[in-house]
Amino acid sequence: GKEAMTTTIMHTSLPAEDTEKTAQVLPEIMNVEAVRFPPGGPKAWKVFSGDGTVNLEVVQRGDLVAFAENEGGWKTTPNPQRTSECHMALCVDRPEAEVIEIAQRAGWTARHCERGGGIFGLAEIWVDNAFMIEVLDPVQSARYRENVTLAKWKQYLPMMLARTASA
């Protein structure tokens, strides 16, 4: 049979209008700290997970990763759009109520949501009210890992396709 490979996302970048504020709020949610990230530009920050396996690169909104001759690099665009095709889910050790309170204190929209009609729950937080991060506390993370598997996704798929076809 085919041997399964281990795949891990090591880092991801996310846009922020106020990178320094975001570099204070996310570490509070994650109970970690942020450090500067010079490769991402003068306002970029890096937030490491507590176990060091994942890090988030907080970059100025409008600083895009672009193809270049030798290697990809950062390119600033004027008047960047605030919405994004991307989002992320982040598992943390902090209870959901605290996550929502921290995000709301920062002036960000934050709320509890149930995805897939109750397949799993999470705190939906919006960095600068523009970029979505789904934050899962330990109970929600366990429920996600139990319910979002390839086998179960294949079970849910007909229902989801039917729902989107009727919308």
Residues 6+ apart with CB under 8 A from 36: 44, 45, 46
| Beta-sheet pairing, 45-48 with 34-36 | antiparallel
Residue scoring higher pLDDT (73 or 47): 47
Residue 57 has pLDDT above 90, yes or no: yes
Instruction: Determine the Cα–Cα distance for residues 136 and 151; give it in Å rounded to an integer.
Output: 21
pLDDT value at residue 37: 96
What are the tens digits of pLDDT across the range 16-55? Answer: 999 999 999 999 999 999 999 999 999 999 999 999 888 9
> What does the radius of gyration of the chain's CA atoms come to, in whole angstroms?
18
What are the tens digits of pLDDT across the range 109-118? Answer: 999 999 988 8
Instruction: Determine the Cα–Cα distance for residues 28 and 47; give it in Å rounded to an integer.
Output: 10
- Amino acid type, 106: A
The single-letter DSSP state of residue 121 is: E
